Amino acid sequence: MYPFTFHNPTRILFGQGRIAELANEIPAGQKVLLTYGQGSIKKNGIFDQVAAALDGYEWSTFGGIEPNPTYETLMKAVEKIRLEKFDFLLAVGGGSVIDGTKFIAAAVNFAGDPWDILTKRAPITTALPFGSVLTLPATGSEMNNGSVITHKATQTKLPFMHPLVFPKFSILDPTTTFSLPAGQVANGVVDAFVHTVEQYLTYPVDAKVQDRFAEGLLLTLIEDGPQALSDPENEAVRANMMWSATLALNGLIGAGVPQDWATHMIGHEITALYGLDHAQTLAIVLPSVLQSQKEQKKEKLLQYAERVWGISTGSEDTRIDKAIRKTREFFEQMGIKTRLSDYGLDATIVPKLVDQLEQHGMIKLGERRTVTLEVSRQILEMSV
């Protein structure tokens, strides 16, 4: 196991009815800006629950944050905050709203163009405090310090991370997810699955706890993911999905182990250019990454085959191929297609995507930095 520092300051309030406790989490007297997406919270009653819990605070709203939140929209919130002087942000929604709120929090007091935070890793020295009410288990944004923002004008989607943008608290009420459309439930399961895989399917460093923990998350997602689709109001199933997604990317399973992230970085380019959902891109790219990096990932792929899919007979090659096939079948079972061609895209897009990767410095990806632009090109060609 590699040396690591692990610190996660986000307080989690998990369970049905916890939104009512908001006032215990936001200091009295703070002027609060509630940020949200494109209106789902107004239809499913979550907005009303939050509004009731904010009784006694001075508060206002900023809506319209889109899936794959854009710099252009978020800067409007920044202007509003600078003008009206809010002290605390409350993100109510999925990963996009929470990621967007992290950017807003960091941008408000940033001197210069806040887009530099993404392109130039410009240092952030202050951020507004914020909390979240999660409505879509997927990204882990509710308990991490990462955020992914899109610049619409340049079709650029880039991540940033900073210790100042951990949420102060996140409320995870599994019943808020009952209203999710099936496609978003599936997206969430696939995203959490791929987060786990990107920190687990690398090479062994004798990190038994992280490995067993990751395998537990994968098995839970495989068992309960399909049930979340077939039995959508099953609170126990939703609770398992919600907590798995949070734990998949809150730093715990990634501490002290090598990490991959090639699938995510390639996937971000597909979303930026062609608008596919984040999880759709992962379902397309991951099987090809595993196939392409079979040698580099051999030991962990064999472990994954045995412990997650129960595959223990046959040659090493056969076991690995079967595990990759099972992974693809699982995504398809969740209703997420796994080929670029399923989304009307063909091999002609590959050079454009490789160009984008180059422009964004994504030229040596993967845990061993073996995913060069040439390898990414092959991975994309295999994904058609």
CB 52 to Zn ion: min, Å: 32
Q: Is 363 exposed, middle or buried (0-12, 13-18, 19+ CB in 10 A)?
A: middle
CA separation, residue 308 to residues 131, 196, 286, 303, 321 (Å): 35, 12, 16, 8, 14
- Binding to ligand NZQ (CB under 6 A) within 253-272 occurs at 264
Between 128 and 286, CB nearer to Zn ion? 286
Give the other-Cβ count within 10 Å of 2's Cβ: 9
Give the one residue of 10, 70, 135, 383 binding ligand NZQ; rule: CB under 6 A: 135
* DSSP letter string, 50-88: HHHHTTTSEEEEE--PPSS-BHHHHHHHHHHHHHHT-SE
Stretch that binds ligand NZQ, among 20-28, 93-101, 210-218, 371-379 (CB under 6 A): 93-101
Q: Which of 176, 292 has the CB closer to ligand NZQ?
A: 176
173 binds, among ligand NZQ, Zn ion, none (CB under 5 to 8 A by kind): none
94 binds ligand NZQ (CB under 6 A): yes
- Neighbour order of strands in the sheet with 130-134: 11-14, 169-172, 130-134, 88-93, 31-36, 58-62
Residue number with the smallest Cβ distance to Zn ion: 191
* Residue 376 contacts which entry, ligand NZQ, Zn ion, none (Cβ below 5-8 A, type-dependent): none
**Least distance (Å) from ligand NZQ to the CB of residue 99?**
5
Q: Residues 164-193: x/- map of binding to Zn ion (CB under 5 A)?
A: ---------------------------x--
Quote the DSSP letter at residue 234.
Answer: -
CA atoms within 13 A on the CB side of 226: 8
Binding site for Zn ion (CB under 5 A): 191
Binding site for ligand NZQ (CB under 6 A): 37-41, 44, 67-68, 93-97, 99, 135-136, 138-141, 144, 146-148, 176-177, 179-180, 184, 187, 191, 249, 264, 278
